[in-house]
Amino acid sequence: MNKPMFNVNFAPQQGPAPIAPVVAEAAPAPDFGESLYLQLKQHENSKPYAYKDTAGHPTIGIGFNLDDKDNKKILSGMGYNVKDVIAGKVRLTEPVIKELYDMSIAKATKDATNWVPNLSEQPENVQKAIIDMSFNLGATKLAGFVKTRQAFINKDYKEASKQMLDSDWAGQVGKRAKNLSALVLSAAS
C-alpha cells in the first residue's frame, strides 16, 4: 500500500480566511557617522561653488574654509586652481564635496578628542555636539572654551550647555549654538 506523499485536506474552510497583521517597519536609524554628516550638512549647508561663510571666509562644499592654507594645499593637490575655486569659476561634484568632508570630519574628530579626552565615553548626542563645534571652530578657537571643556569632561551637561550659549560664538552662529546646546542638555539627568 502506498502512502500519500502529502496529507492535504481540500475541505472548504469555515469562516473568513485569517488575515496576517500588517506591521509597518520603521526605517533603520542612521548610524552615528551618517547622522553627524546630515547634522553638519544642515549647519554648514552644502554648496558646489564658493560662498562666504558667516565669518566672511570663502568656503565650498560642507564648510571647507578656503582661507585655510592646509585646505588650499588639499584642493591644489586634487588638481584644482584655488583662485578659480574662490572666484566661483569651479563647481565641485558631490563625490569631491564628500571627500573634502571626510578629510575635514577626521580632523574635527581628532581635535574634539584632544579637547575632551573622554569623548568616547560621552552620550552620542554630546559627541555630535562636540565634534560639530570642533568642525565649526577648529582646534585653536575650541581651546578658548575652557569652562565648557571642563563641564564636558565632568559630564555636567547643564553647565556645558549654559557655557556654550554664554559665548561670542553663540551670538555668531545663532541657531546652530541653540541646536547643539539642546543636544547637550538632552543628556542631562
pLDDT at residue 30, as a whole number: 66
User: What average pLDDT does range 84-104 have in this prediction?
Assistant: 97
pLDDT at 4: 47
- What is the rounded CA–CA span in Å between residue 105 and residue 94? 16
Are the CB atoms for 148 and 164 separated by under 8 Å?
yes
For 40, the grid coordinates are 553638519
Angle (CA) 16-19-23 rounded to 5° is: 165
Per-residue model confidence as pLDDT tens digits over 147-175: 999 999 999 999 999 999 999 999 999 99
Nearest in space to 108 (alpha carbons), one of 186, 183, 30, 33: 33
The secondary structure of residue 53, as a DSSP letter, is -
**Does position 22 have pLDDT exceeding 60, yes or no?**
no
Least confident of 11-20, 26-35, 99-108, 111-120: 11-20
pLDDT greater than 90 at residue 143: yes
Q: Give CA–CA dist 188/131, Å, rounded.
A: 18
Q: State residue 54's pLDDT score.
A: 80
Provide the strand spans (E) within the chain: 47-52, 58-61, 64-65
Q: Which of 20-24, 88-92, 132-136 is least confident?
A: 20-24
Is pLDDT at 98 greater than 50 in this prediction? yes
